[in-house]
Amino acid sequence: MTDKEIIEHLQNNKYSRAINGLYDILPSVKQWVRNNSGSADDAQDMFQDALVILYKKIHAGEFTLSVPLKTYLLAVVRNCWFAELRRRKKLPLADAADDIADDMTNEEPGLAIASSAFNFLGEKCRQLLILFYYQKKSFKEIARALSLSSENVAKNQKYRCIQKAKENYVTLSSNGSHE
Amino acid sequence: MNNNTIKIDSYLQGEMSPADKAAFEEQLSFDKDLREELAIHQHIINAATSAGLKASFAAAIHKKIVTRRLIRWGSAIIIIAAALFFVWKSGLFSDHEHEPNGEKHPTIERFNINPSADTIIETHDGVVFAIPAHAFATEANSIELEIKTALNAYDILHNGLSTRSNGRMLNTAGMFYINAVEGGKTLSLTKDIAVSVPTANVNPDMQIFDGVENEGLNSTTVNWVNPRPVDNNLRTYDVNTLDFYPPRYIPTLKALAKAYQNKKYTDSLYYSFSGYPHGAKHPEAAPPVEVKEEPKPRPNDLPQDTSKNPDSKFWRNVDAAAWPLRMDSSIQQDLADSTREFTYQIDPAIIKAIWDKKFNNTIIATKEFEERLRYMHSLCSSEYLELYLKNLNKPLYLIDKLCADHSSGDVKKKFLEFAAQKKGQVMIASDIQQKLTDYFQKKSRAYKEAAAKTWQKYQAKLEALNNSAYRKRGEAAFKELKRTEENFNQELCSNLTAAYAQLDIHRSCNDTILPPTTQYYNTTIRTTGWKNLDLYVFDATENRESMVYTDPNTGKTAKLTYREVNIKIDNPTQYDRVFVYLIPDSLSHFQRMPQQDNGFKEKLNSLFRYDAVAMAYKGGQAYFFKQAGLQPKEYQFKLSAISDVELRAELRRYPLNKGTELRTEFEYQLFEQQETARRLQYMKDVEFRAKVAASIFDCGEASTPVVIESNPK
């Protein structure tokens, strides 16, 4: 699969097809993350993060293919992982991050915090927010999928969840000042 | 919860009325906290979207990993996890209350089959049913099968099926229903039907349940009972650790004291037999000069070339038109394509193609397949193997059954035994199956061609060697003839001249060489004496024996003396071969001394002076000894090493080109010696290969396939 085809698949939300073309680099990602004091799970996580970044960039029309896609993704993974390590306060060495991916991962700090805030939510809340904002499901569908008694319950639950995430956000950003 | 969250969210979702929106935006312009909260809210939505996206990627990766893992571990059977098997005639799906107009169950599939033939059916969603002949209690030649499958939650819900067993919730991997109808009557089942249900993820704890209907107040529900474990998966091994050789191959090599444990050697030897029984030349096809002198190397049990025989039992057997089995069309097409290709016993090229790590995690890489292959090696056909290779993604026992249906007698019995083991399968994706099949086809063809080419090359080289040897021999034989004849004539001339001289008759030898015509000498009485003397001398020269002749007229005596010289070589066994030549001074050519016992003996004519040279080779090193003025007695020659240049110089000393001639002769003898060794080696090779071939292509020996019996010649 050519890089162009992979990008097209991502453009059209054909995740599985895109993964078929990109799966080959997962071993290199794992290898690299392991060599940089991460686990296989971390590697998976970073790989997915990198894919999300790539996807967003493509959909925002901000992506131009200047290096092979795999090189690009590996660079993004590196930056993501360094950011993650920094977050875990154990960045080993000031390893120079790749320039190609710099602009990608230097997202607004707010987004990184929001991501953590979101991840601190309970499973059900996360599911609900994903179903609503990402999958654009109706409250009726959400109620059925999450075994909630009614649409209204789902709707109220959604507000509670987002409220909780915002509280998490505030907590995280005030704690973050200690870093 | 503060009201801002609801407000912000409906603002961001575009759900506000224009008035509310304007008011909200107004508030934003002066409320810093609200602006901040809006930003956070937006971040959270972004985070939720990213998380969703990430989950999608994770799912795609997981799917990919699972697929790969399945392939890698070969773990999967297809067999259902928790599949549910309906009690016959339970009629769950066919319940007309549930299906008033058929819309509720869109997945019903109907197949018309011949119940007296083995049939394999695959539903639209990949459930495979292998229905043996006479599985249903009917004499009809066409019945209808109704099959429904519900493999995912959607189908299960749409079919109104429950996933409860005696009140407990089941984690189902799919459900299916099968019913056979003939003339509106439901038929009962008399034989087992093998069913394979595809699944992405194999749960070894899955069981199969029977469905039992419970009549309810206004609907029918199904309870799942009688759980049993599903069929066993096959365990795969590294294909290189399995033994795909014909069963007698390695024992034969062992018996012949070959390096049977060296797989590199055994492989290359085995694969070199690709195309052996047909196509390539047999050993007898070598030039005639080879065959006359050597015993025929081919044992009786060597496979015969049947390709020229239109009545060949093998051909008849693989005729696609005679194929009795009902199969899905793609298999049938594949078979039609392949049967022309492999018609005899299993060609080593096929084994080479599948004995490859690419086939790890397929049914090929299982002990079960190894066992079947050992048996198939003894059959006079490779088409059974073809069936396995064409159906890598099917359970082994289904293929066993196909083979059984295609054969009869003992072979059928054997394949039925295999089928009865109910061996499952190794799940592989169908595109990979296709790729592997393509790979196998391509590789085995390539190996075959390579083997044929190598064989041709070998044959051409052999032929060239034989031709050159033949030519050299002819030249040498001609030279020797010429040499002997000239020597004889010259020696006879010398002997005659000497004998005449002793009788005081002065004649040159040329006078006697031309025999006088009978007419002319009839009138001249005195010529009888000459004639008489000529014959004596001729015999003496011919037999190299001394003679005494007394002229009846003059009483004078003529004597010719031949006395034996006996030359022994010091430590002769250390040389590859030793030659001793006599070089008479008055003759134009040398004489090769015949080897007798452990020495060289020849009778010397006392009229000549002889030198002798002995030459030998050991490895590439020449050895030489010369003796001038040879006397009729016993000698012991001690040869010493000599360089080729020195040897040439030594030989050049002898006049009349004798040295050059000698050199040529010696070289020819050496060539002859190597040639003999080569031929011996070749014959040994041929014999060896014949023995090995007999162990590889032993069809009809170990067990006689019935296909042969049913087609007597």
Q: Of B598, B597, B564, B570, nearest to B582 (Cα)? A: B564
- By residue count, chain B amounts to 713
pLDDT value of residue B284: 35
Q: Of B173, B164, B171, nearest to B211 (Cα)? A: B164
Q: ipTM of this predicted complex?
A: 0.84
* B211: β partners: B86, B224
Distance from CA of B46 to the nearest CA of A (A): 7
Q: Say if residue A133's pLDDT is above 80.
A: yes
Rounded Cα distance between B556 and B551, Å, is: 5
Matching residue, tokens 């799906």: B93
Confidence band of B204 (pLDDT split at 50, 70, 90): low
Contact yes or no for B68/A141 (Cβ under 8 A)? no
Residue pairs spanning A and B at CB distance below 8 A: 107
Structure token pair of residue A44: 């998976």
Confidence band of B430 (pLDDT split at 50, 70, 90): low
Contact B47 A114 (CB under 8 A): yes
Rounded Cα distance between B148 and B542, Å, is: 104
Distance from CA of B314 to the nearest CA of A (A): 45
Rounded Cα distance between B465 and B471, Å, is: 10
Q: What is the dihedral of CA B567, B570, B572, B573, to 10 degrees?
A: 150
With contacts defined as CB-CB under 8 Å, which chain B residues touch A115?
A: 47, 50-51
Question: CA B3: distance to chain centroid?
Answer: 81
Domain boundaries defined on chain A = 3-174
With contacts defined as CB-CB under 8 Å, which chain B residues touch A19?
A: 57, 60-61, 63-64
Rounded Cα distance between B294 and B705, Å, is: 36
Contact B43 A170 (CB under 8 A): no
Rounded Cα distance between B608 and B630, Å, is: 10
Strands (E), A36-147: none
Q: Spell out the residues 6+ positions from residue B92 whose beta carbon is closer than 8 angstroms to its own.
A: B86, B98, B161, B177, B211, B213, B220, B222
For residue B619, is it left (φ>0), alpha (ψ between -120 and 50) or beta? left
Q: DSSP class of residue B346?
A: P
Residues 66-105 of A with CB under 8 A from B: none
Q: Of A133, A101, A139, A140, nearest to A118 (Cα)? A: A133
Q: Say if residue A135's pLDDT is above 50.
A: yes
Task: Output B34 or B421, whichever has higher pLDDT.
Answer: B34
Rounded Cα distance between B469 and A100, Å, is: 73
- At B539, the amino acid letter reads D
pLDDT value of residue B708: 30
DSSP line for B141-177: S-EEEEEEEE-SHHHHHHTT---EETTEE---SEEEE
Three-class secondary structure of residue B110 per DSSP: strand
CA angle B657, B658, B659 (to 5 degrees): 90
| B53 → chain A, closest CA residue | A52
Q: Spell out the residues 6+ positions from residue B429 whose beta carbon is closer than 8 angstroms to its own.
A: B67, B71, B393
Question: CA B571: distance to chain centroid?
Answer: 48
Q: Backbone phi, then psi, for B585, in 5-degree steps?
A: -70, -35
Q: Spell out the residues 6+ positions from residue B187 whose beta carbon is closer than 8 angstroms to its own.
A: B136, B137, B138, B143, B180, B181
B599-626 average pLDDT score = 84
Who among B41, B47, B55 is closest to A115 (CB)? B47
Contact yes or no for B266/B391 (Cβ under 8 A)? no
Distance from CA of A111 to the nearest CA of B (A): 6
Rounded Cα distance between B196 and B176, Å, is: 11
Contact yes or no for B398/B391 (Cβ under 8 A)? yes
Rounded Cα distance between B370 and B363, Å, is: 9
Structure token pair of residue B92: 């769950």
With contacts defined as CB-CB under 8 Å, which chain B residues touch A129?
A: 44-45, 48, 51
With contacts defined as CB-CB under 8 Å, which chain B residues touch A29?
A: none
Q: Spell out the residues 6+ positions from residue B299 whose beta carbon is closer than 8 angstroms to its own.
A: B690, B691, B694
B381-391 average pLDDT score = 83
Q: Say if residue B41's pLDDT is above 80.
A: yes
Structure token pair of residue B40: 């956070």
| A158 → chain B, closest CA residue | B6
Least confident of A5-14, B335-344, B678-687: B335-344
Q: Spell out the residues 6+ positions from residue B40 whose beta carbon is closer than 8 angstroms to its own.
A: A110, A114, A166, A169, A170
Who among A48, A169, A170 is closest to B54 (CB)? A48
B202-208 average pLDDT score = 66
Burial (0-12, 13-18, 19+ Cβ within 10 Å), B373: buried
Least confident of A30-44, B125-139, B277-291: B277-291
- Chain B residues with CB under 8 Å of a chain A CB are 1-2, 5-6, 9, 37, 39-41, 43-61, 63-64
Q: Say if residue B54's pLDDT is above 50.
A: yes
Q: Spell out the residues 6+ positions from residue B493 whose beta carbon is closer than 8 angstroms to its own.
A: B509, B510, B512, B513
Distance from CA of A169 to the nearest CA of B (A): 7
pLDDT value of residue B511: 58
Contact B61 A47 (CB under 8 A): yes
Q: Spell out the residues 6+ positions from residue B409 whose beta carbon is closer than 8 angstroms to its own.
A: B705, B706, B709, B710
Structure token pair of residue A23: 């799966």
Structure token pair of residue A56: 């967003």
Burial (0-12, 13-18, 19+ Cβ within 10 Å), B10: middle
Tens-place pLDDT, residues A109-128:
677 788 888 888 888 888 89
Tens-place pLDDT, residues B169-198:
566 677 788 888 888 888 888 877 777 777
Tens-place pLDDT, residues B148-168:
887 765 566 556 565 656 666
| Axis-axis angle for helices B18-30, B32-73 (nearest 10) | 110
Rounded Cα distance between A161 and A154, Å, is: 10
pLDDT value of residue B162: 59
Structure token pair of residue B70: 């399945």
Contact B60 A16 (CB under 8 A): yes
| HEC per residue, B288-328 | HHHHHHCCCCCCCCCCCCCCCCCCCHHHHHHCHHHCCCCCC
Tens-place pLDDT, residues B482-514:
777 777 777 877 887 777 777 777 666 655 444
B268-280 average pLDDT score = 67
Rounded Cα distance between B440 and B358, Å, is: 10
Q: Say if residue B248's pLDDT is above 80.
A: yes
Rounded Cα distance between B368 and B418, Å, is: 9
- At B526, the amino acid letter reads R
Least confident of B212-226, B254-268, B556-570, B628-642: B212-226
Distance from CA of A148 to the nearest CA of B (A): 19
Contact yes or no for B278/B302 (Cβ under 8 A)? no
- At B562, the amino acid letter reads Y
Rounded Cα distance between B259 and B264, Å, is: 10
Q: Does A152 touch chain B (CB under 8 A)?
A: no
Structure token pair of residue B439: 């790979």
Q: Residue B431: which H helix or E strand, with range?
A: helix B430-502
Contact yes or no for B637/B567 (Cβ under 8 A)? yes
CA angle B339, B125, B236 (to 5 degrees): 60
Distance from CA of A78 to the nearest CA of B (A): 17
Q: Spell out the residues 6+ positions from residue B159 whose beta carbon is closer than 8 angstroms to its own.
A: B93, B104, B105, B107, B148, B150, B175
Burial (0-12, 13-18, 19+ Cβ within 10 Å), B33: exposed
| A111 → chain B, closest CA residue | B43
- By residue count, chain A amounts to 179
Question: Which of B53, B67, B431, B432 should be substituted to probe chain A, the one whose Cβ sees the most A Cβ atoms within 10 Å?
Answer: B53
A44-72 average pLDDT score = 86
Q: Spell out the residues 6+ positions from residue A61 whose beta carbon is closer than 8 angstroms to its own.
A: none
